[in-house]
Amino acid sequence: MNAYERLTATFARIATLNEASAVLGWDASAMMPDGGAEARGEQVAVLAGLAHELLTAPQVAEDFAAAATPTDAWDAANFALMQDAHKRATALPQDLVEAISRANSHCESVWRTARQTSDFALVRGPLTEVVNLARQSAEILGAALGVSPYDALLASFQRGVSAADVAPVFADYAAFLQTALPAAEARQRANPAPAMPLGPYPEAVQEALCQRLSQAAGLDYNHARLDRSAHPFCGGTPSDVRITNRYDEADVCAALMGALHETGHGIYEQNLPTQFRRQPVGEAAGSAAHESQSLIIEMQAVRTDAYLSYLAPVLSAEFNREITVPALKSRLRHVERSFIRVEADEMTYPAHVLLRFRLEQALIAGELAVADLPGAWNEGFHALLGITPPDDKRGCLQDIHWHYGLFGYFPTYTLGAMAAAQLMAAARRALPGLDAAFGKGDLLPLKSWLNENVHRHGSRLGFNELLRRATGEALNPQAFVDHLTARYLG
Q: Does the pLDDT value for residue 94 go beyond 90? A: no
What integer is the mean pLDDT of 389-405? Answer: 96
For residue 462, the model assigns a pLDDT of 87
Q: Per residue in 108-154, pLDDT tens?
A: 999 999 999 999 999 999 999 999 999 999 999 999 999 999 999 99
State if pTM tops 0.85: yes
Of all residues in the chain, what percent carry a pLDDT higher than 90? 95
For residue 342, the model assigns a pLDDT of 85
What integer is the mean pLDDT of 226-245? Answer: 95
For the annotated catalytic residues, the residue numbers are 262
d(CA 177, CA 261): 24
Q: Per residue in 48-69, pLDDT tens?
A: 989 999 999 999 999 999 999 9
Q: Which residues contact 441 (CB under 8 A, 6 or more apart)?
A: 213, 216, 307, 310, 311, 314
Q: At 387, is the pLDDT very low, low, confident or very high (cuts 50, 70, 90)?
A: very high
- For residue 452, the Cα-to-chain-centroid distance in whole angstroms is 21
Give the Å distances, CA to CA, from 16 to 22, 52, 284, 393, 469: 10, 13, 16, 36, 31
Please work out, in degrees rounded to the nearest 5, the angle formed at the alpha carbon of residue 106 by the alpha carbons of 409 and 43: 95
Pairing of strands 234-237, 240-245: antiparallel
Q: At 98, is the pLDDT very low, low, confident or very high (cuts 50, 70, 90)?
A: confident
| Residue 97 exposure: Cα atoms within 13 Å on the Cβ side | 20
Pairing of strands 224-228, 234-237: unpaired
What integer is the mean pLDDT of 444-470? Answer: 97
| Residue 109 exposure: Cα atoms within 13 Å on the Cβ side | 19
Domain boundaries, the chain: 3-155
Give the burial class of 301: count Cβ atoms within 10 A of its Cβ; 0-12 exposed, 13-18 middle, 19 or more buried. buried
Judge whether 453 and 271 are in contact, CB under 8 Å: no
For residue 56, the model assigns a pLDDT of 94
For residue 368, the model assigns a pLDDT of 98
CA dihedral in degrees (177, 182, 188, 191; nearest 10)? Answer: -130
For residue 160, the model assigns a pLDDT of 85
For residue 149, the model assigns a pLDDT of 97
Which range (42-46, 211-215, 379-383) has the least confidence?
A: 42-46
Q: Per residue in 323-357, pLDDT tens?
A: 999 999 999 999 999 999 988 999 999 999 999 99
Q: Produce one character per residue of 8-35: b if its CB has 16 or more CB atoms within 10 Å, e if not.
A: bebbeebbebbbbbbeebbebbbeeeee
| Residue 16 exposure: Cα atoms within 13 Å on the Cβ side | 7
For residue 293, the model assigns a pLDDT of 98
Q: At 230, is the pLDDT very low, low, confident or very high (cuts 50, 70, 90)?
A: confident
Judge whether 161 and 408 are in contact, CB under 8 Å: no
For residue 446, the model assigns a pLDDT of 98
d(CA 470, CA 450): 9
For residue 97, the model assigns a pLDDT of 86
Say if residue 350 is preceded by a cis peptide, omega within 30 of 0: no
For residue 343, the model assigns a pLDDT of 86
Q: At 490, is the pLDDT very low, low, confident or very high (cuts 50, 70, 90)?
A: confident
- Within 10 Å of residue 112's Cβ, how many Cβ atoms? 17
Q: Does the pLDDT value for residue 245 go beyond 90? A: yes
